[in-house]
């Protein structure tokens, strides 16, 4: 695995918990477990972090840019207080019907972040929870990890935009990137029966939920 110098992160479902359809205020913003520690580990490892997120509520008239900027400022301040750092937050404010070139699954946000921060996409990686995150990374020539938080489980079960890697959540994904050998072992273990059960348990899933390979086995 290539050395990762920059990590692109989706926001909702990766950094923070989804609250209803949109997270519009700081009162509704909640970091997912282990995220602040993972961001501190990235800073200590000198991995730059940039957030790339679709925020259509701006285009829908549900929140003003200024309000969203305040939320992001508080998010960044909380990360700094915990020992981490976010170099920039890049978001698409447009309505999905606007036909912009920055809304994921297009790679515009990643290219904008790369231009602004001087990022070498050849040493970048993306972590997201949706097929459009993975597609945007692929379009930018960047490998991607799908996490199973947020929309990640549904994305995985549908088989949308297969990622380069899979992880239970952001902390596990960061561990895999910072410790490649251990990460390779963990990724291989995802496909064993015991590890698949662990994935289910960690997400609080019912045992009747079957992963794709289970269905293939059933056909046999």
Give yes or no: 27 in active site.
Answer: no
Q: Please, what's the b/e burial string for 58-93 (b: 16 or more CB within 10 A of its CB; e: otherwise)?
A: bbeeebeeeebeebbeebbebbeebebebbbbbbbb
Whole-angstrom Cα distance, residue 168 to residue 191? 13
Give yes or no: 129 in active site.
Answer: no
Sheet holding 6-9, edge to edge: 88-92, 48-54, 6-9, 124-128, 144-147, 165-167
How many CB atoms sit inside 10 A of residue 42's CB?
24
Whole-angstrom Cα distance, residue 129 to residue 163? 10
Catalytic residue, candidates 12, 129, 169, 176: 12
Give every CB contact of residue 81 below 8 A, 6+ residues apart in sequence. Answer: none
Q: Residue 126, exposed/middle/buried by CB under 10 A (0-12, 13-18, 19+)?
A: buried
Catalytic residue, candidates 10, 129, 133, 169: 10
- Catalytic positions are 10, 12
């Amino acid at each position: 695995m290539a050395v990762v110098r920059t990590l692109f992160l989706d926001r909702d479902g990766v950094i923070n918990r989804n609250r209803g359809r949109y997270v519009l205020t700081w009162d509704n913003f909640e970091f997912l477990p282990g995220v602040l520690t993972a961001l501190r580990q990235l800073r200590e490892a000198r991995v730059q972090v940039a957030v790339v997120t679709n925020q259509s509520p701006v285009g829908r008239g549900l929140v003003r840019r200024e309000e969203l900027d305040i939320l992001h400022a508080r998010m960044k301040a909380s990360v700094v207080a915990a020992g981490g750092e976010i170099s920039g937050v890049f978001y698409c404010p447009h309505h999905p019907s606007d036909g912009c070139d920055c809304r994921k699954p297009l790679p515009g946000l990643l290219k904008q972040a790369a231009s602004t921060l001087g990022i070498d996409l050849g040493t970048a990686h993306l972590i997201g929870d949706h097929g459009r995150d993975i597609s945007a990374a692929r379009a930018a020539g960047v490998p991607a990890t799908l996490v199973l938080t947020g929309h990640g489980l549904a994305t995985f079960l549908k088989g949308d935009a297969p990622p380069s890697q899979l992880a239970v959540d952001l902390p596990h994904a960061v561990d895999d990137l910072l410790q490649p050998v251990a990460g390779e072992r963990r990724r291989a273990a995802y496909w064993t029966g015991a590890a698949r059960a662990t994935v289910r348990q960690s997400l609080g899933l019912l045992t009747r939920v079957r992963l794709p390979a289970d269905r293939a086995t059933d056909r046999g």
